[in-house]
Amino acid sequence: MATNQTFTMIKPDAVEAGHTGAIIKLIEEAGFRIVAMKKTQLTTERAGQFYAVHSERPFYNGLRTYMSSGAIIPMILEKENAVADFRKLIGATNPAQAEEGTIRKLFAKSLEANAIHGSDSDENAAIEGSFFFAGTEQY
Ligand code: UDP
């Protein structure tokens, strides 16, 4: 994956609450192009694989359960400076600390159920994008 791409997923709380359309609108208005997108659901095991970096953290089991509790919308996005600009658009991990107008400030329910994921590096964007999408699903 080129460095002008990032990976995101709209998390189960936001999909369930019907915020998918509003979130995609903000993403496109911020200048990101959708390269790949689908609706799917993770098993607890796959959610654990996705967040394996956090396997020693106290919130890991709850996070696996939450992330497999309902449908998600994974997407690969493209824009110059995609990773950093997207992290700015979604806001801080804890919505209580997220800036006004950010996606987490607008739609997150809690620190765990925080509406949306955004890759934290170009390397992780590539790994996470290929966790969900084959090359033939990217346009
Ligand atoms: N999380 C949690 N409790 C915490 C920290 C994180 O439940 O104390 C969840 C939250 O959903 C977060 C995800 O674990 O988005 C991954 O955490 P990370 O620190 O990587 O934050 P992110 O990169 O998603 O902002």
**For position 92, which CATH number holds?**
3.30.70.141
CB neighbours of residue 62 within 10 Å = 11
Looking at residue 117, its pLDDT comes to 98
What is the best residue among 8, 66, 114 to mutate for testing ligand 1's pocket, by most ligand atoms within 8 Å of CB?
114
ipTM metric = 0.98
Cα–Cα distance, 75 to 28 (Å, whole number): 12
- What amino acid occupies position 107? F
pLDDT value at 105 more than 90? yes
Residue 79, marked binder? no
**Each residue's pLDDT tens digit, 8-40:** 999 999 999 999 999 999 999 999 999 999 999
User: Which amino acid, 7?
Assistant: F
Boundaries of domain holding 82: 5-137
pLDDT tens for each residue of 117-139? 999 999 999 999 999 999 999 99
Mean pLDDT of 58-87: 98
- Quote the number of domains for the chain: 1
Alpha helices for the chain (secondary structure H): 12-16, 20-29, 44-50, 60-67, 82-90, 103-107, 122-132
Q: Is the pLDDT confidence value at 59 over 60?
A: yes
Ligand 1 proximal residues by C-beta, below 6 Å? 59, 63, 93, 111-112, 114, 117, 120
The confidence band for 100, taking pLDDT boundaries of 50, 70 and 90, is very high
**Catalytic center residues:** 117
